[in-house]
Amino acid sequence: MTSRRSRSRGEGGLEGRKILLAVTGGISAYKSAFLVRSLVRAGAVVRVLMTGAATRFVTPLTFEVLSGNPVPMDMFASRSDAPVEHVELAAWADAVVIAPATADFIGKVAGGLADDLPSAVVCAARCPVWLAPAMNDGMWDNPAVRRNIRILADDGRRIIDPGEGDLACGTRGAGRMAEPEHIISELALSFGPGPLEGVRMLITAGRTEEEIDPVRYISNRSSGKMGFALARHAAELGAEVTLIHGPVDVSPPAVSAVTRIGSSAEMKNAVSKAFPKCDVLIMAAAVADYTPASKARGKIRRGAGGMSLDLEPTADILAGLAGRKKDGQVVVGFALESEDGEASARRKGVAKGCNYIILNMIGDGTGFGTDTNRITVFRGKRKIAETGLVTKSEAASAILEILSKDRHVKKAAG
């Protein structure tokens, strides 16, 4: 979790912040000049680094003038005041921002490479590292680039997703660097006391595994991505996050407390224990509805005929906890539906006593295992928001923005 400081801050939380901007070699390098100017105007102290390719697009002089600081280029230059410059720069920064982040540089950061001054500084940095990718839509869609982005997100790097629109290469699509104002507001938010500061959030993620015998189990395709995105964003917004997750396909974010469980019974125990101490419970985990009535001690052997498995329902954790929530506690459930989504979600939310229910339909690019989702949010029976097809990170932001405005959550945030 990002460490937060309590000193008073100026407008936007950027006053006095030390921002190290790494500019890499893409057309959008020109936008970084506006970024530097706006950061300086917001009170930040800015130092700029450039890759060799970046200097082909904008000169170091532009950034030196706008930032008021020199732009060092040579990692091996001899300097008496900072003999190991990349380490000094990395330790100096409150945040490193890579904008634009080229496909090439993204690959280097994901791989932990450090063969020039900007990549060595990023490699040595212990502060939050932000990347604003910018590239042609073909590059952005490239599976290797997507994989690198996932690695970076899993490593806790903050990705400011590119927008869609006209690209410098003449095509239209995703890959435009986020606008400087957007980058600045994300950064400022990360420094300021977030809207969820002081809120204790209990978030569940991933699937459960219900054992049939010592080698087999019943499970589902939940990857944990949605719950992890919620946990990561909630922590960024200041919440104290307890994450309880089952088996997953991605690494959990660094939040206040992380517990890994296996079965639905273990999930129930862990969540029931943590629930009384939370202000908000978000049940994003896909807990099995059924479990084998008995677990075979030894491996079940293959026989000549068919076989059937006796299943019994698992405890309904969401309904159980929502039914005994204290005044002011907020419970959020998820409904994954394949048909009749809105009606089912409304029914589920009301029947289980949730304050909010988030509907996601199984479909193209949505549901389990995907990086994207399309969500509809209900408060009680009332539909209050819906998104188009967005990344799970964006869906998480949308959900948390709604929650941060909830009167109980606001009260918990003090």
Ligand X SMILES: Cc1cc2nc3c(=O)[nH]c(=O)nc-3n(C[C@H](O)[C@H](O)[C@H](O)COP(=O)(O)O)c2cc1C
Instruction: Give the catalytic positions in this structure.
Output: 169
Residue 153 binds ligand X, judged by CB under 6 A: no
Please tell me the distance from the alpha carbon of residue 98 to that of residue 117, in angstroms, as a whole number. 13
Q: Shortest Cβ distance from residue 128 to ligand X (Å)?
A: 21
In the bound state with ligand X, the residue whose beta carbon lies nearer, of 25 and 349, is 25
Among 26, 227, 253, 367, binds ligand X (CB under 6 A): 26
3-state secondary structure of 113: coil
Q: Shortest Cβ distance from residue 203 to ligand X (Å)?
A: 34
B/e letters for 369-399, b = 16+ CB within 10 Å, e = fewer, are: ebebbbbbbbbeeeeeeebeebbbbbbbbbb
Q: Bridge partners of 280?
A: 201, 330
Among 33, 39, 134, 359, binds ligand X (CB under 6 A): 134
3-state secondary structure of 60: helix
Residue 161 binds ligand X, judged by CB under 6 A: no
Q: Shortest CA distance to 356 belongs to which of 333, 387, 373?
A: 333
Q: Shortest Cβ distance from residue 132 to ligand X (Å)?
A: 11
Among 13, 14, 24, 117, binds ligand X (CB under 6 A): 24
In the bound state with ligand X, the residue whose beta carbon lies nearer, of 162 and 238, is 162
Phi-psi region of 98 (alpha: psi -120 to 50; beta: other; left: phi over 0): beta
With CB under 6 A as the contact rule, which of the stretches 23-31, 78-86, 244-252, 309-317 interacts with ligand X?
A: 23-31
3-state secondary structure of 151: helix
Residue 139 binds ligand X, judged by CB under 6 A: yes
User: Scanning residues 40 to 79, which ones bind ligand X (CB under 6 A)?
Assistant: 51, 53-54
Please tell me the distance from the alpha carbon of residue 201 to that of residue 376, in angstroms, as a whole number. 21
In the bound state with ligand X, the residue whose beta carbon lies nearer, of 21 and 335, is 21
Residue 114 binds ligand X, judged by CB under 6 A: no
Q: Is the dihedral of CA 174, 179, 150, 255 positive or negative?
A: negative
Q: Shortest Cβ distance from residue 262 to ligand X (Å)?
A: 41
Q: Shortest CA distance to 312 belongs to which of 337, 335, 295?
A: 295
Q: Shortest Cβ distance from residue 177 to ligand X (Å)?
A: 8
Residue 102 binds ligand X, judged by CB under 6 A: yes
With CB under 6 A as the contact rule, which of the stretches 20-28, 206-214, 237-245, 378-386 interacts with ligand X?
A: 20-28
3-state secondary structure of 124: helix
In the bound state with ligand X, the residue whose beta carbon lies nearer, of 103 and 284, is 103
Q: Shortest Cβ distance from residue 98 to ligand X (Å)?
A: 9
Pairing of strands 163-166, 240-245: unpaired
Among 105, 217, 275, 378, binds ligand X (CB under 6 A): 105
3-state secondary structure of 225: helix
Residue 27 binds ligand X, judged by CB under 6 A: yes
Residue 96 binds ligand X, judged by CB under 6 A: no
With CB under 6 A as the contact rule, which of the stretches 12-20, 131-139, 184-192, 208-216 interacts with ligand X?
A: 131-139
Q: How big is the site for ligand X, counted in residues (CB under 6 A)? A: 15
- Crossing angle (nearest 10°) for helices 103-111 and 117-124: 40
Residue 104 binds ligand X, judged by CB under 6 A: yes
Q: Shortest Cβ distance from residue 236 to ligand X (Å)?
A: 26
Q: Shortest Cβ distance from residue 145 to ligand X (Å)?
A: 8
| DSSP codes, 263-305 | SHHHHHHHHHHHGGG-SEEEE-SB--SEEESS--SSPPPP-SS
Angle formed at CA 238 by CA 232 and CA 240, multiple of 5 degrees: 75
In the bound state with ligand X, the residue whose beta carbon lies nearer, of 24 and 204, is 24
Please tell me the distance from the alpha carbon of residue 162 to that of residue 175, in angstroms, as a whole number. 5
Q: What is the largest CA-CA distance in the chain?
A: 81
Among 135, 317, 359, 396, binds ligand X (CB under 6 A): 135
Q: Bridge partners of 204?
A: 244, 283
Residue 97 binds ligand X, judged by CB under 6 A: no
Helices (H) and strands (E) in the chain, counts: 14, 21
- At 89, list the tokens: 């720069």
In the bound state with ligand X, the residue whose beta carbon lies nearer, of 104 and 161, is 104
Return residues touching ligand X (CB under 6 A): 24-28, 51, 53-54, 102-105, 134-135, 139
